[in-house]
């Protein structure tokens, strides 16, 4: 049970006041039933947003959940490219995003026209795009991958094929090394995963000699080389849950610690620190969504994601290819 005095400046949207006597968790539950809505949330969401979600997962699992849902309304508590994928898979359903401004540095750093011009320089090549990209980039891609299926999908492409990989150079570099490939890499990075400090992580490992370092493949190579495990957010969660070790340094967005602690209350999770003394290991885009905005999006069915039908049709092709290759 949660009681709040609202509106909270800067949290609920201006002009959309919330009755301060409401228990938002209860109201969200009621609205979900009334509107036959489902909340899909990423692990980087605030704890209280994760707690009202029907499903929490990594990018692949969220796309799979969007593919199979029978709800009339999908409230996507994540970032814009993830909600776009849900809409592309469900053109007839209503997809609401608590904060439509929740973007992604990888997606915004790879404009479709520039990626198309890059592709045109390599006739006969295939474009493999990380799911963290716009629908317009997906529409010109041959394959979409996530951090949990990228190894499998890239391995399925013949070795003699020229591959362009966009937009994350860290994930692409990791795959090149692991699979012995020579994919050309788009020079994009995640503003969150690129900030982890090698120096501070080395210090943490010295102070916690039994701790394992778990890292997302969006991290810089210097962090990945030190890591005991590299994988998607779900991979990191599952690894820690199954491990018989007790301490973990977690090199991904610290929102995931909520689910990790829930799964293993007796283990210790230490968020990997950024180099600067800032909270820049938190994704400013993911954190734009709040419980108040989740409530408003279900109450008003706004902001609603609308997309160009032709763009959705073109982007669906590599997304469906990815889902089929992930089974
Ligand atoms: P996952 O697919 O591993 O959840 O990653 C999504 C993401 O945006 C990581 O920054
Ligand atoms: Fe994008 Fe990085 Fe945020 Fe993930 S953590 S959504 S890659 S900016």
**CATH for 202:** 3.40.50.10800
- Verify that 129 and 185 share a domain, yes or no: yes
Which position has the token pair 């982007």?
315
- 209 within domain boundaries: yes
Q: Are 119 and 132 in contact (CB under 8 A)?
A: no
Shared-domain flag, residues 40 and 89: yes
What is the band of 13 on the pLDDT scale with cuts at 50, 70, 90? low
Residue 298 lies in a domain: yes
pTM, 2 dp: 0.94
Are 210 and 267 contained in the same domain? yes
Instruction: Give me the chain's average pLDDT, please.
Output: 95
How many Cα atoms occupy the beta-carbon half-sphere of 147 within 13 Å? 24
Position 277 in a domain? no
175 with 116, same domain?
Answer: yes
Domain span holding position 209: 198-271
Q: What is the pLDDT of residue 139?
A: 98
pLDDT of residue 199: 97
In a domain, 290, yes or no: yes
Return the pLDDT at 10: 39
Query: Phi and psi at residue 229, in whole multiples of 5°?
Result: -150, 135
| CA 17 remoteness from chain centre | 29
- For residue 28, how far is its CA from the centre of ligand 1 (angstroms)? 25
> What atom of ligand 1 comes closest to residue 60's alpha carbon?
2
User: Same domain for 176 and 114?
Assistant: yes
Instruction: Report the nearest-CA residue for atom 1 of ligand 2.
Output: 104
20 Cα to the center of ligand 2, angstroms = 32
Specify the residue for token string 């599952």: 238
Counting residues of the chain whose pLDDT is more than 90, the rounded percentage is 94
pLDDT digits (tens, 9 = 90+) for 187-237: 999 999 999 999 999 999 999 999 999 999 999 999 999 999 999 999 999
Q: How far apart are CA 260 and CA 242, in angstroms?
A: 11
**129, 274, 286: residue to mutate for ligand 2 pocket, most atoms within 8 A of CB:** 286
Residue 12 has pLDDT above 60, yes or no: no
What is the secondary structure of 197-220 as a DSSP string? -HHHHHHHHHH-TTPEEEE-TTS-
Q: Tell me which residues have their CB closer than 6 angstroms to ligand 2.
A: 79, 104-106, 132, 190-193, 218, 253, 283, 285-286
Q: φ and ψ at 194, to 5 degrees?
A: -85, 0
Same domain for 261 and 294, yes or no, is: no
Specify the pLDDT at position 132: 98
Give the binding-site residues of ligand 1, using a 6 Å CB cut-off.
58-59, 132, 146-147, 190, 216, 218, 232-233
Higher pLDDT, 17 or 257: 257
Tell me: pLDDT of 5 over 90.
no
113 and 97, same structural domain?
no
| Residues 6 or more apart in contact with residue 302 via CB below 8 angstroms | 96, 296
Instruction: Dump pLDDT digits (tens) for 70-82.
Output: 999 999 999 999 9
CA distance 233 to 238: 9
Ligand found nearest the CA of 326: 1
Locate the ligand 1 atom nearest the alpha carbon of residue 104 and give its number: 8
For residue 105, which ligand has an atom nearest its CA? 2
pLDDT at 33 over 50: yes
Q: Give the pLDDT of residue 266.
A: 98
Angle subtended at Cα 271 by Cα 100 and Cα 292, rounded to the nearest 5 degrees: 30
pLDDT of residue 185: 98
Structurally, the chain folds into a number of domains equal to 3
Q: Do residues 98 and 47 lie in contact, with contact meaning Cβ atoms separated by under 8 Å?
A: no
């Amino acid at each position: 049970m949660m009681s709040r005095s609202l509106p909270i400046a800067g949290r609920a949207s201006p002009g959309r006041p919330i009755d301060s006597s409401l228990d938002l968790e209860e109201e969200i539950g009621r609205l979900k039933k009334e509107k036959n809505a489902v909340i899909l949330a990423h692990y980087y969401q605030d704890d209280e947003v994760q707690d009202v979600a029907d499903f929490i997962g990594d990018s692949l699992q969220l796309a799979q959940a969007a593919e199979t849902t029978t709800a009339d309304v999908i409230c996507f508590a994540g970032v814009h490219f993830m909600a776009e994928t849900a809409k592309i898979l469900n053109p007839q359903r209503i997809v609401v995003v608590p904060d439509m401004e929740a973007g992604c540095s990888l997606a915004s750093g790879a404009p479709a026209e520039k990626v198309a011009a890059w592709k045109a320089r390599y006739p006969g090549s295939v474009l493999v795009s990380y799911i963290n990209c716009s629908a317009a980039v997906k529409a010109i891609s041959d394959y979409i991958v996530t951090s949990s299926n990228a190894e499998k999908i890239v391995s399925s492409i013949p070795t003699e094929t020229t591959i362009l990989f966009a937009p994350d150079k860290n994930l692409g570099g990791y795959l090149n090394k692991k699979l012995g490939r020579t994919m050309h890499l788009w020079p994009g990075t995640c503003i969150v995963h690129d900030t982890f400090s090698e120096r501070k992580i080395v210090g943490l490992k010295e102070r916690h000699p039994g701790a394992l370092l778990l890292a997302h493949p969006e991290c810089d190579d210097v962090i990945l080389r030190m890591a005991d495990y590299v994988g998607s957010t779900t991979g990191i969660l599952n690894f820690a849950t199954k491990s018989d070790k007790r301490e973990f340094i977690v090199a991904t967005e610290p929102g995931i610690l909520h689910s990790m602690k829930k799964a293993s209350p007796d283990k210790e999770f230490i968020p990997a620190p950024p180099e600067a003394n800032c909270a820049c290991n938190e994704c400013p885009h993911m954190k734009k969504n709040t419980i108040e905005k989740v409530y408003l999006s279900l109450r008003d069915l706004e902001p609603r994601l609308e997309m160009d039908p032709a763009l959705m049709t073109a982007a669906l092709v590599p997304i469906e290819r990815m889902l089929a290759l992930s089974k």
